[in-house]
Amino acid sequence: MKPPAFEYVAAADLDEALETLAEPSLETRPLAGGQSLVPMLNFRLAAPERLVDLNGIEELSRIEETGDGGLRLGAMVRHRQLESDPLVARRVPLLAEAAPFIAHPQIRSRGTVGGSVAHADPAAELPAVLLTLGARVRIVRRSRGGEPGSRVERTLDLDDFFLGPFFSALEPDELLTAIDVPPSAPGEGTAFDEVARRRGDYALAGVAARVRLNSGGVCEDAAISLVNGGSTPCLMREAAQALVGAEPTLEALEAAAATCAETSEPAADMHASEAYRRHLIRVLTKRVLSRAADRART
């Protein structure tokens, strides 16, 4: 398969990329790692008239500490960087733990953080992990008629960014430039796990969890998000809320896992039935909550 013809622009900097996206004469899509977009082009699932390549924009490839102790991940940070960067492992260990589950090493070396988030695939690991961490996205566009300055920037909670399967709050002339991940709180533990037919395949189901305990061992806050657990990346609020105010005992974890499975909306396909996916979600949720709680205690 070959993609339809398109005009190609290699942006030298962010201003050129934004200017190209804002130019209305041709339908334009940004090209980051291309691990999702290129197959869509080849199968004619997408047919933009112009691509603007972001790979030459150095400022989008940085991992930086923020003033509050969190991390800012540039949109062009590769999955492989999450897997290997010691700053990520120290500040946000959940990202380092989940990154090796993303596809294969060749894909992780090219795929980008921003591309994965903007693609809004409910079967992708990174949206679920970043939702669990309470991340926010930074979005930039060129100023429109009458607006002051050359750029307009807005930030969104990631939970408000995902609007549906492969559908986000990004407008055609906007570019996702960074993801802000808040710092870990004292007494917080995180964990991730998934089940796939083969390592590197899309997960049949996956779970990311975050648990924060007080000095008495009582859960003060929790978050759970699923991979392939519904039509869009989303937080499982009811299941997480069931843990708050109680000690994470075996019974409490089992109840939260059961609620997570019951309130999830997995789809059946040729690889797994809905019932089997719900079973996996229950087992994985209990597993990662237990692991997160153990890490929170230590």
Span 20-35, pLDDT tens digits? 999 999 999 999 999 9
Percent of the chain whose predicted confidence (pLDDT) is above 90: 96
The CATH number assigned to the domain holding 15 equals 3.30.43.10
Dist CA 66 CA 182 (whole Å): 9
Which residue segment(s) compose the domain that 155 sits in?
62-181
- pLDDT band for position 54 (cuts 50, 70, 90): very high
Q: What letters, b where the CB count within 10 A reaches 16 and e where it falls short, cover 122-152?
A: bbbbbbbbbbbbbbbbbbbbbeeeeeeeeeb
> Do 201 and 278 belong together in one domain?
yes
> Do 153 and 223 belong together in one domain?
no
> Do 39 and 80 belong together in one domain?
no
> Do 150 and 206 belong together in one domain?
no
pLDDT tens sequence across 250-261:
999 999 999 999
> Do 206 and 166 belong together in one domain?
no
> Do 232 and 125 belong together in one domain?
no
Nearest alpha carbon to residue 56 among 20, 11, 15: 11
Q: Which residue has the tokens 């079967």?
A: 123
> Do 173 and 192 belong together in one domain?
no
88, 82 contact by CB (below 8 A): yes
> Do 35 and 70 belong together in one domain?
no
pTM given for the model: 0.95
> Do 73 and 28 belong together in one domain?
no
How many domains is the chain built from?
3
Residue 2 maps to a domain: no
